[in-house]
Structure 1
Amino acid sequence: MSTVSPTKKPARVRPVPAVSRAIAILRLLGESEQPLGVKAIADELGLVPSTTLHILRVLVSEELIEVDADTKRYVLGGGMITLARSVLEKGSFAERAQPALDRIASSFGVTAMFVEVTAQESVVVLGISHSAQPFRIHTDVGSQFNTLVSATGRLIAAHSNAPWSSLRQKFDAIAWDRRPAFTDWKMEVELAKEQGWSIDRDNFLRGITVLAVPVLAPSGRLSHTLVAAGLSSQFDQDFTTDLAQSMRQEASALSRMTLG
């Protein structure tokens, strides 16, 4: 039976408005399907246009964003690729997890993912491995998802000391394809505490089942998860049991590699 480790009180971080605004602009441009002008950015983020323009100019000078000289619209720049590559390629934990993803994907015919749980409890895909099956679930490295979404979200809740009332608020904000009843989801979270893995059947995406196992830091904190996703028709009882056991073994080995 898994235990829930006490959560350390987070260190107080003094806000730095200019930094927060710059990050908000980068995220907005990353999410936008088209270039944005100063007014559109300022309106979306509730910023003063002159302040927005000043931040944009700094980001352009640092090559994190680019501006079209004719339209005066902004997009993410090549400097962002350099930053992302440095995270993924310099002997990172994701790189060390890749062999485990490849073994899971090839052995069970699923899409295997290595996912980071950030300090803010958002979920970011760090690594992916596809099987040779003709049907594949598509997602990209760097994709970010809602805090409590899918199977990893159940593990986040299981390893959290947050009261159920707080978890309910986050649960209600999730964009489910087929929303489970909160009482059912709560029971699945409790089950995840007991069995050491979690599963989402057809809730996040209809016809898709997602299984996740925790990767823990030495402190006991949930730092990452191993995730397997495939057609729900694959996931009969024997298949699910075998997959969960194999993934737990891989996750245990990865947990021993974590640094904090």
Structure 2
Amino acid sequence: MTTSRLDARSIEGDTPAQRLLALLEVIAEKDQYFTLQSLVDETGMPKPTLHRMLQQLENSGMLQREADNRHYSKGTRLRRLAETLLLNDTVQGARHAVLAELVREVGESCNITALAGAEVLYLDRVETSAPLRFYLHPGSRVPAHCSASGKLFLAQMSPAQRRRLLAEVPLSSFTRNTITDIKALEIEIEQVRQQGYAFDDEEFLPGLLCIAVLAPNPSGVSNVGLAIQAPIMRMDRQRALECLPVLERAAAAIAQINQGAVPDSMDDLEIDKQEIQQLGG
């Protein structure tokens, strides 16, 4: 029996909508038909609850019942959703192409990140072909205080914002280089703010060095970081700084892609007016 990456607890969720989405994630991983009982065994959820959820998904066209009336498969609407998503996901495709080209130029793994709460979230990643590398897949999260991108995100905040965030987050130690003292971290962040780039010098994983910049945002604060990661036996700080110009060019290219994906402000204003009229405003 295939074991899902989602456990029963995550399937339960906080709302009915979250539970349905979590169940769809489990179903999307399957390459065979499945039954109600197989999902009960896999998720540990009550059979009546799962039966009701499957009925909802079937009625909406996300799932369909097979000829034997016992097995389910992906419905036409779910397949169309997946196809439409891939067809129209040109922003992600363009950013991934920039990331892949950066990896080709520098020869090391690179990733695109964003700040999510007090953590850095990996939005996309391309691995180097070199035999020695660190695997950090998209969706991975790293504490901001020991991440090169995280320091850049923190450096954009006002001192009050930063204090408020860090006051609720333990500055956990992951290596002997992790900065766990708030005053030392503030000194590091100020330096990052002035120089416009940041290092993770074996602060999260032993033997891993990272240099990061932000994708510039004309509107102000950026929530997109771009980073190079490499084993210290192949990259030290000086070598990382030599890669900085190509890293900054790639960040500028990603910023241009992001800006091109934002609808024209006048279009947004017209849509807002239409929505207000529909609501009777």
- Normalized against structure 2, the TM-score is what? 0.60
SS of 2:258's equivalent in the other structure is: coil
**8 A Cα contact 2:153 2:223, kept in partner:** no
SS of 1:157's equivalent in the other structure is: helix
Distance 1:53 1:223, change over 3 A: farther
What is the CA–CA distance in structure 2 between the aligned matches of 1:198 and 1:81, rounded to whole Å? 42
2:154: which partner in 1? Answer: 157
1:250: which partner in 2? Answer: 250
1:185: which partner in 2? Answer: 185
SS of 2:210's equivalent in the other structure is: strand
Distance 1:211 1:94, change over 3 A: farther
**What is the CA distance between 1:18 and its match in structure 2?**
3.4
**8 A Cα contact 1:218 1:256, kept in partner:** no
Q: 2:226 aligned with 1:210, yes or no?
A: no
Distance 1:189 1:247, change over 3 A: same
**What is the CA distance between 1:235 and its match in structure 2?**
2.9
Q: 2:112 aligned with 1:114, yes or no?
A: yes
**What is the CA distance between 1:123 and its match in structure 2?**
1.3
1:145: which partner in 2? Answer: 141
SS of 2:243's equivalent in the other structure is: helix
Q: Deviations over 1:16-47 (max 9, x none)?
A: 943355456778999xxxx98599777xxxxx
* Alignment-mate amino acid for residue 150 of structure 1: S
Root mean square deviation, CA, Å? 4.4
- Higher RCO (CA < 8 A, seq sep 6+): 1
**8 A Cα contact 1:202 1:208, kept in partner:** yes
What is the CA–CA distance in structure 2 between the aligned matches of 1:55 and 1:215, rounded to whole Å? 41
Q: Which has the larger radius of gyration?
A: 2
Looking at secondary structure, tell me which structure has more helix per residue. Answer: 2
What is the CA–CA distance in structure 1 between the aligned matches of 2:258 and 2:174, rounded to whole Å? 31
Distance 1:219 1:78, change over 3 A: farther
SS of 2:151's equivalent in the other structure is: helix
What is the CA–CA distance in structure 2 between the aligned matches of 1:176 and 1:65, rounded to whole Å? 44
- Normalized against structure 1, the TM-score is what? 0.64
1:194: which partner in 2? Answer: 194
**8 A Cα contact 1:64 1:80, kept in partner:** yes
Distance 1:26 1:105, change over 3 A: same
2:100: which partner in 1? Answer: 102
Percent of matched pairs sharing the same residue = 18
**8 A Cα contact 1:208 1:230, kept in partner:** yes
Q: Deviations over 1:136-175 (max 9, x none)?
A: 33233x4231462622222221223423142242354x68
SS of 1:203's equivalent in the other structure is: coil
SS of 1:222's equivalent in the other structure is: coil
**8 A Cα contact 1:157 1:189, kept in partner:** yes
What is the CA–CA distance in structure 1 between the aligned matches of 2:107 and 2:151, rounded to whole Å? 23
In the alignment, structure 2 segments of 5+ residues that lack a partner are 1-13, 29-37, 65-73, 263-281
**8 A Cα contact 1:177 1:204, kept in partner:** yes
In the alignment, structure 1 segments of 5+ residues that lack a partner are 1-15, 43-47, 67-75
SS of 1:206's equivalent in the other structure is: coil
